[in-house]
Amino acid sequence: MKSLELLSEYSNYLEEQKLEGKKIIAFMSHDSIPEELIDAAGFIPLRLIFAGNDDLMNASHDYLPPSTCSFAQSCIGYFARKPNLYKFLELVDYILLSNHCVSDICVSEIISDNFNVERLNLYVPYTRNESAIKYYKIELENLRKELENIIGHEIPDQKIKESIDKYNLFKKKLAEIEKLEISGSQKLEIFQKAILFGPKILNEIEKLIQKNREITSNDSQTESNNKKVIFTGCSIFLGDYLMDLIEESGGEIVFFNTWIGHNYISQIYSDKILNSTDDPIDLFLYRFKTNIYGDHSVPDSLDNEISYLETFINEYQKENGEKLAVINHVIKFCDHFSLFQSTLKERLQNKGIQVLNLERDYSRANRGQLSTRIEAFMEMI
């Protein structure tokens, strides 16, 4: 129900923005897209984060084989089927193709070729060496030029810098949400809304933090019997029922180690770095270089993730006396997370951490089976 409200609010917002003459650039919600550049150029960055339903997946099969990840299938589905819920996607002017994974490329090409949406490109290197940084710089500059050609004038450095500051402040606030004592589903709703609306909802986020702090300080602490877990792997997108299943099974997600969650929020610049240069492209390069937890073939990304999870779990245990378990969410046929799932599980289990590898698509027929697996895992921990 909440997701329907959010979609309707977002749809109204986009319509207002279009009436004001703004153009919309959509892209699959992954890493390394400089949304601040898009914002500074006066466009609305629209991250495609909608999924979780069979109809959308099925609607994609004229374009993609069913052996493509179900998120990618869904992205085609809402353009192909145009259900009322996603009517606002007809307002999209451009699709930004990036090579986060093969599905990202295919989906963006298909949307552009079949649904009358112009295409922009941003290729992101798969390594982090000096040549890769240079290449990413060229790609950023090309994207900047493409945007400047569309709007018919230059995008001043200062404007991009202001946008970087704005998003940075916003992410710092979102990092406070991570620490609030609210349910996992409440946090996820906030993160999803934040990813869609961006810094325009900064005030709303600040009020929410304030209100929750007051509630927490007035409340006498009640112990919850829910099983506390970290959620890692593929994000939970808007419209997915997975969060309900986890909470109905007695699970409580205390930390979202996913793109819609900590990966996005944690890409914050310190004041020192922000003040170290007037060139905003340098700041994008810095973020690219230091983003070692992304899943875009960053060297040693699995090692980094395992050591990050282990440290988080140990620190949480010291502070709260509870050992967290891990749910590793793998969308079926996801290039990135399917490959690593057995090794991730094995290595974490060797460190005494319990892991559930939850590989699935969005088919509603699987709901019962998924629920049983999650309940069994909760029982076990």
Q: 298: which residues sit within 8 A by CB, 6+ positions away?
A: 128, 291, 292, 304
Cβ-based nearer residue to ligand SF4, 233 or 280: 233
Residue of 358, 354, 324, 329 whose CA lies nearest to 188: 329
Query: Under a CB-based contact definition with an 8 Å cutoff, are residues 347 and 306 in contact?
Result: yes
196 is written with which tokens? 């869609």
User: Measured between alpha carbons, how far apart are the two ends of the chain, in Å?
Assistant: 30
Q: Which is nearer to ligand SF4, 35 or 155 (CB)?
A: 35
Residue 98 amino acid letter? S
Query: In terms of C-beta density within 10 A (0-12 exposed, 13-18 middle, 19 or more buried), how is residue 270 classed?
Result: exposed
Binding mask 184-223 for ligand SF4 (x = CB under 6 A): ----------------------------------------
Instruction: List the structure tokens of 271.
Output: 């004041």
On whether the CB atoms of residues 78 and 56 are closer than 8 A, the answer is yes
Task: Name the amino acid, one letter, at 119.
Answer: R
Beta carbon of residue 234, minimum distance to ligand SF4 (angstroms, whole number): 5
Which one among 110, 331, 344, 353 touches ligand SF4, defined by CB under 6 A?
331
Pick 187 or 360: Cβ nearer ligand SF4? 360
Among 44, 234, 313, 325, binds ligand SF4 (CB under 6 A): 234
Nearer CB in complex with ligand SF4: 160/243: 243
Question: Which helix (H) or strand (E) element contains residue 308?
Answer: helix 301-320
Q: Name the minimum Å distance from CB 242 to ligand SF4.
A: 13
Interface pick for ligand SF4 out of 46, 48, 64, 101 (rule CB under 6 A) = 101
> Long-range contacts: 114-119, Cβ < 8 Å, 24+?
114/63, 114/79, 114/80, 115/79, 115/80, 117/26, 117/79, 117/92, 117/93, 118/93, 118/94, 119/94, 119/95
CB of 8: closest distance to ligand SF4 in angstroms? Answer: 26
Question: How far from the centroid of its chain's Cα atoms is residue 188's Cα?
Answer: 10
Rounded least distance, CB 218 to ligand SF4, Å:
41
Q: Which is nearer to ligand SF4, 187 or 336 (CB)?
A: 336
Of 138, 103, 170, the residue nearest 335 (C-alpha): 103
Per CB under 6 A, 336 contacts ligand SF4: yes
Q: Is 217 left (phi over 0), alpha (psi -120 to 50) or beta?
A: alpha
How far apart CA 244 and CA 246 sit, in angstroms, is 5
Task: Compute the least distance from the CB of residue 332 to ligand SF4, in Å.
Answer: 9
User: Segment 23-42, which members bind ligand SF4 (CB under 6 A)?
Assistant: 28
Q: Rounded CA gap, 195 and 238, in Å?
A: 11
Looking at residue 143, its amino acid is: L
| Footprint of ligand SF4 on 61-100 (CB under 6 A) | 69, 71-72, 100
- Select 3 or 73, whichever has its Cβ closest to ligand SF4: 73
Which residue from 335, 359, 363, 375 is in contact with ligand SF4, where contact means CB under 6 A? 335
Q: CB of 361: closest distance to ligand SF4 in angstroms?
A: 11
- The DSSP letter of residue 189 is H
Q: Which is nearer to ligand SF4, 136 or 259 (CB)?
A: 259
Answer whether 276's CB lies under 8 Å from 264's CB.
no
# of chain residues touching ligand SF4 (CB under 6 A): 13
The reply on whether position 104 binds ligand SF4 by CB under 6 A is: yes
- 121-129, 156-164, 215-223, 334-342 -> range binding ligand SF4 (CB under 6 A): 334-342
Q: How far is the CB of 94 from ligand SF4 (least distance, A)?
A: 19
Site for ligand SF4, rule CB under 6 A: 28, 69, 71-72, 100-101, 103-104, 234, 331, 334-336
